[in-house]
Amino acid sequence: MKKLLSASILSADFGRLADEVQAVEAAGADWIHADVMDGLFVPNITIGPCIVEALSKATKLPLDVHLMIEEPGRYVENFAKAGATLIGVHAEACVHLHRVIQNIRELGVKPCVALNPATPLCMVEPVLPDVDMVLLMTVNPGFGGQAFLGNVVPKIRECRRKIDELGLATLLQVDGGVNPATAPQLCQAGVDVFVAGSAVFNGNYRKNIENIKASIDCGVKSKS
């Protein structure tokens, strides 16, 4: 399938979010990635449903909402109403993971399950058929601009193998430290959706996105 780039607004100028989202849309991003942090599951605090609602009004692109919060089940309805296309919850933060995933789907949103770098894949294997996407973190969540953790790559390969073995359409996403230098190995490992924040928002957005897209197509330049 076509590889997709989800631009993480964590590295955007928060004073001009609507303009920033429109700028990366015009520059060729496929999705917008919104990082929600609660100061508990991760040390940082970012945005809530009202900002997600503002983002959804500013762009036509799918809105990929990554919840880095404790007990995310408490808030999935708020984020669904705010206009999320996909909602990602961390397996580490859900006592009843399957129930939360079902709730997201019942709300008409695509469920995604996320894993921290140190969490083994077996945590999500039982729900692989129930989610639209698996997100494997390639940094410890909480901040943009951190260094890519290459030791996650074997887990990414294993996840690709399991998805294919089961004949599922589940997408495989990575998030953290993605840039033109790290993306080719991720592409080879079978990643479908690449989240990038600092590699998109530092410098010229169009050039940055072109460079990342060239590297996520396993080195083959796209025609557009």
Binding site for ligand DX5 (CB under 6 A): 8, 10-11, 33, 35, 66, 139, 141-146, 175-178, 195-199
Q: Work out how close the CB of 116 gets to Zn ion at its nearest, in angstroms, rounded to a whole number.
A: 12
Query: Which of residues 44 and 102 has its CB atom nearest to ligand DX5 in the complex?
Result: 44
Q: Give me the long-range contacts of 204-211 (CB less than 8 A, separation at least 24).
A: 205/23, 205/24, 205/27, 206/26, 206/27, 206/28, 208/27, 209/5, 209/7, 209/24, 209/27, 209/28, 209/29, 210/28, 211/180
Residue 175 binds Zn ion (CB under 5 A):
yes
Q: Work out how close the CB of 11 gets to ligand DX5 at its nearest, in angstroms, rounded to a whole number.
A: 5
Q: Work out how close the CB of 35 gets to Zn ion at its nearest, in angstroms, rounded to a whole number.
A: 4
Element (H, E) at 198: helix 198-201
Indicate if the alpha-carbon torsion angle 145, 146, 151, 155 is positive or negative: negative
Q: CA 88 to CA 22: how far, in whole Å?
A: 23
Q: Which of 30, 64, 175, 192 is catalytic?
A: 175
Q: Work out how close the CB of 198 gets to ligand DX5 at its nearest, in angstroms, rounded to a whole number.
A: 3
35 is catalytic: yes
175 is catalytic: yes
144 binds, among ligand DX5, Zn ion, none (CB under 5 to 8 A by kind): ligand DX5
With a CB cutoff of 8 Å and minimum separation 6, the contacts of 53 are 81, 82, 83
Question: Can you tell me which of 20, 25, 30, 35 binds Zn ion, judged by CB under 5 A?
Answer: 35
> Minimal CA–CA distance to 59: which of 84, 80, 35, 78?
84
190 binds, among ligand DX5, Zn ion, none (CB under 5 to 8 A by kind): none
Q: CA 213 to CA 220: how far, in whole Å?
A: 9
Tell me which residues in 64-123 interact with Zn ion (CB under 5 A).
Answer: 66
145 binds, among Zn ion, ligand DX5, none (CB under 5 to 8 A by kind): ligand DX5
Residues assigned a catalytic role? 35, 175
- Interface with Zn ion (CB under 5 A): 35, 66, 175
